[in-house]
Structure 1
Amino acid sequence: MLKGTAPESNEVKDGDFCMVISGTHKGKSGIARDLNISKTGHLTITIVQTDGNRFKTLGKNVTVQKANVA
């Protein structure tokens, strides 16, 4: 668990705008797609960035954000 930081909501749903807060893709954001529970019980998420790039990350590494209106 991260010290002193509590995500607004960690209940990620398909279509939510998410920010990656830890791991390899820290600092990246996008729309959550293809949520899956792995055999080991961890949530994996495919994040689709605004430029169309995709990457996979663990659910524990993301926080749900308000939509980016840039």
Structure 2
Amino acid sequence: MKETELKDGDFCQVIKGTHKGKAGIATDLNISKTGHLTITVVQENGDRFKTLGRNVVIVSK
């Protein structure tokens, strides 16, 4: 997945990293000092977590 395809409000599934298997709405997209895309994912139950954009794929809900 190209990082530029992900946009605020997209439903995404985490495929790598600490939060693997979780899914939710992508919010708060930001480019870090090192140049990586970071996002906050809000799950349906309201829980939030941060992850890298390269760790998620966009899915249709």
Runs of 4+ in 1 over 4 A off after TM superposition: none
The 3-state SS of whatever aligns with 1:18 is: strand
For the pair shown, the structure with the greater C-alpha radius of gyration is 1
**Identity value in percent:** 70
- Equivalent of 1:21 in 15, 19, 22: 15
How far is the alpha carbon of 1:31 from its aligned partner?
Answer: 0.1
Q: Over aligned residue pairs, what C-alpha RMSD do you find? A: 1.2
- Equivalent of 2:30 in 36, 39, 53: 36
Q: Equivalents in 2 of 1:62, 1:56: separation in Å?
A: 11
Gap runs ≥5 in structure 2: none
TM-score after normalising by structure 2: 0.93
Q: Determine if the alignment matches structure 1 residue 47 to structure 2 residue 41.
A: yes
1:57-68 equivalences under 5 Å are 57-67=51-61
Structure holding more strand per residue: 2
